[in-house]
């Protein structure tokens, strides 16, 4: 495994380079847990195919649940002593998730969008007042379902909402996508075949639209009072008040200041098949207005929502 590290560099703005700004689609979410194997068993019981354990060089391990173009990163703090600290311009992925787990417990800690131009992303975030963090490049060894080892590598551009200490944000550009994405990992017994979106909660959703619009490269739209939506090329980013979230999904919103990443919405091709699969797991679920909800008490601090594919 190799880590290339942070790089600040001097970059020209996208407009100065004659480039057109591109909206960023959902890439993945981080679901940080205390026990990675138990989390893998949970997702397996729900009918997902879960990848093998992978190791980061900074003290965290992960397992991946893939769909076409999107994945859930199950994350464990495996070697706390290897986690580097944050600095003024350097964001530590390991430290953020370690602190999230210690302060609020297991749950959805980070939203990651697809990055095609990390340098351009950094310039945009810096110009909007939500950046100031170095790019971070790294590579690691991955393992396919057939046991073959492959190299994967990523370039990350971080953004930050100062009002949201318990929500992390970055874009991810893959250097070897052909080694990462696997059709075998994208076949799930529950019929899930894509992402519909993610849901944040906040006391005042409108207060965070400036940040989310800059992060996604797409304007937020008001649905109703207390509910904002940012459309992306791959899935929606919803921001709901705590009351609206509880009303829609039948579970309490996560506590805390600012934005909290509360739920992932999965697209399912056959809802009857999904219901049979989840019923066999004997997990506590809610069936509300056509969507199936696995709440945070069952899903290690996350809310997992299954709905018919559009």
pLDDT of residue 284: 84
pLDDT of residue 21: 53
Residue with tokens 């002593």: 81
Burial of 174 (0-12, 13-18, 19+ CB in 10 A): middle
Residue with tokens 């709440």: 295
Contact 200, 167 (CB under 8 A): yes
Q: Which residues of the chain have pLDDT under 70?
A: 1-22
Whether the domain at 26-185 and the domain at 192-308 fall into the same CATH topology: yes
Cβ atoms < 10 Å from Cβ of 132: 15
pLDDT of residue 147: 76
DSSP for 143-154, please give it: E-TTS-EEEEEE
Cβ atoms < 10 Å from Cβ of 225: 10
Quote the strand ranges of the chain, DSSP E: 2-7, 26-33, 54-55, 60-67, 70-77, 107-114, 135-143, 149-159, 168-174, 192-201, 220-224, 227-231, 236-240, 260-268, 286-288, 291-294, 303-308
CA dihedral 209, 211, 217, 221 (to 10 degrees): 0
CATH superfamily of 26-185: 2,3-Dihydroxybiphenyl 1,2-Dioxygenase, domain 1 (3.10.180.10)
Q: Using DSSP, how many helices (H) and how many strands (E) does the chain show? A: 7, 17
pTM (2 d.p.): 0.91
In the numeric block, which tokens belong to residue 186? 């994208």
pLDDT of residue 228: 98
The domain limits of the chain are 26-185, 192-308
What's the CATH code, domain 192-308?
Answer: 3.10.180.10
DSSP for 47-98, please give it: T---PPPEE-TTSEEEEEEEETTEEEEEEEE--GGGPPPP-SS---HHHHHH
Contact 77, 70 (CB under 8 A): no
């Amino acid at each position: 495994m190799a880590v290339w590290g942070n790089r600040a560099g001097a970059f020209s703005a996208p407009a100065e380079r004659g480039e057109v700004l591109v909206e960023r689609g959902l890439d993945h979410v981080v679901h940080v847990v205390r026990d990675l194997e138990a989390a893998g068993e949970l997702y397996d019981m729900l009918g997902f195919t879960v990848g093998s354990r992978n190791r980061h060089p900074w003290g965290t391990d992960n397992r991946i649940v893939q769909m076409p173009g999107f994945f859930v990163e199950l994350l464990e703090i495996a070697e706390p002593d290897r986690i580097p600290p944050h600095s003024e311009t350097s964001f530590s992925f390991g430290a953020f998730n370690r602190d999230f787990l210690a302060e609020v417990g297991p749950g959805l800690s980070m939203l990651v969008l697809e990055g095609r131009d990390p340098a351009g992303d950094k310039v945009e975030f810096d110009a909007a007042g939500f950046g100031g963090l170095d790019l971070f490049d790294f590579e690691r060894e991955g393992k396919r379902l057939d046991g073959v080892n492959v190299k994967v590598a990523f370039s990350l551009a971080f953004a930050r909402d100062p009002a949201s200490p318990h929500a992390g944000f970055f874009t991810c550009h893959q250097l070897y996508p052909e080694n990462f994405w696997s059709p075998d990992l994208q076949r799930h017994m529950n019929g899930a075949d894509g992402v519909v979106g993610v849901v944040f909660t906040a006391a005042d959703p409108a207060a965070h639209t400036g940040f989310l619009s800059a992060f996604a490269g797409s304007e937020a739209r008001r649905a109703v009072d207390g509910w904002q939506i940012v459309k992306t090329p791959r899935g929606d980013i919803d921001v709901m008040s705590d009351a609206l979230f509880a009303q829609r999904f039948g579970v309490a919103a996560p506590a805390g200041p600012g934005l909290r990443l509360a739920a992932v919405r999965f697209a399912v091709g056959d809802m009857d098949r999904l219901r049979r699969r989840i019923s066999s797991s004997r997990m506590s679920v809610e069936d509300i207005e056509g969507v199936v909800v696995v709440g945070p008490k069952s899903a290690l601090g996350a809310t997992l929502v299954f709905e018919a594919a559009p």
